[in-house]
Amino acid sequence: MYRNVLMLSTLAVPLLVVTTACNKADRTARTAEEGTRARTTETQPVNFAYVRFVDASARPVSLYFGNEKEFTGDSKSVSDYKRVPAERREFALRDDAHMTGDPLAKNSEGLGNDKYYTVVSWDDKGGKADLRVVNDTESAPASGKAKIRIIHAAPGMDAIDLYASGHKDKLASESRFTSASNWQEVDPVTGPLEIRTSNKNDNPVRIANVTLQPGKMYTFVVFGGQKAGEKVSVIPIVDNPKEAKS
């Protein structure tokens, strides 16, 4: 009986050695695979986009991208560009008094690598907060020209037109609320500009001391009006995305 036990024990030793060797080989393979994954992750480029925030609403709000608070708005203001991950997340508007629960407004957006965006908040025709993400990436104007566009954030308005004061031909126009016009290439302008609307009760909004320089790009965010309970106003922005990288 003892002989049989000994023989069985002796036979078990090689099996244990083989099993141990296999386990060691498996661990070595897993370690190598994990190391490869880690090195691959380290060498993959991290992609970023650039976002700025224009708060054209009637209240100061904070803008989140996913779970991260990116901007604290100041009503009727525009921020500098900020670098954020170039991926799909949800933009959300919140005020500091209501940090939980449903946001005031939200918009899911996928951001492209090395692309530039303007996020605009405003109040809709019913006074409810809303937001829109506008793509800022655009080619430079032709030599000797400037480029301009309008972001229509004035509820209840139809066409919004931009003129050089004293000129009959419009520089740019946008007829849809919450939309951005196409970029328009224009001659350089020095002097006042005027925002004119389709509402006969709204006087033209004069923007004094404007210089549209050749090679530069400009955005005019128009907000307010009767539906918003305030005068039509404009936030002029000089667009220089490539100079805004950090």
Query: What would the pLDDT profile of 169-213 be if each residue is shown by its tens digit?
Result: 899 998 888 889 999 999 999 999 998 887 777 778 888 888 999
DSSP, residue by residue, 124-148: -TTS-EEEEEEE---PPPPTT-EEE
DSSP state of 180: B
Rounded to an integer, the average pLDDT of 145-155 is 90
- The structural architecture, per CATH, of the domain 46-137 is Sandwich (2.60)
Rounded to an integer, the average pLDDT of 101-121 is 92
**Core vs surface per residue 13-30: b (16+ CB within 10 A) or e:** eeeeeeeeeeeeeeeeee
Rounded to an integer, the average pLDDT of 57-67 is 86
List helix spans (H) across the chain.
Answer: 2-43
The CA distance from 124 to 129, in Å, is 6
First to last CA, the chain: 81
List strands edge to edge, sheet with 88-94. 68-72, 62-65, 88-94, 105-110
- Could you report the per-residue pLDDT of 8-49, keeping only the tens digit for each? 333 344 443 444 444 555 555 555 555 545 544 455 557 999
- pLDDT score at 20: 46
Q: Domain-by-domain residue ranges, the chain?
A: 46-137, 140-241
pLDDT-based confidence at residue 114 (cuts at 50, 70, 90):
very high
In the block, residue with structure tokens 């020209």: 145
Q: Please say whether the beta carbons of 180 and 152 come within 8 A.
A: yes
Q: Give the pTM.
A: 0.74
The CA distance from 69 to 91, in Å, is 10
Query: What CATH class is the domain 140-241?
Result: mainly beta
Query: For residues 96 and 38, which has the higher predicted lDDT (pLDDT)?
Result: 96
Evaluate whether 46-137 and 140-241 have a shared fold.
Answer: yes
Mean pLDDT over the full length of the chain:
79
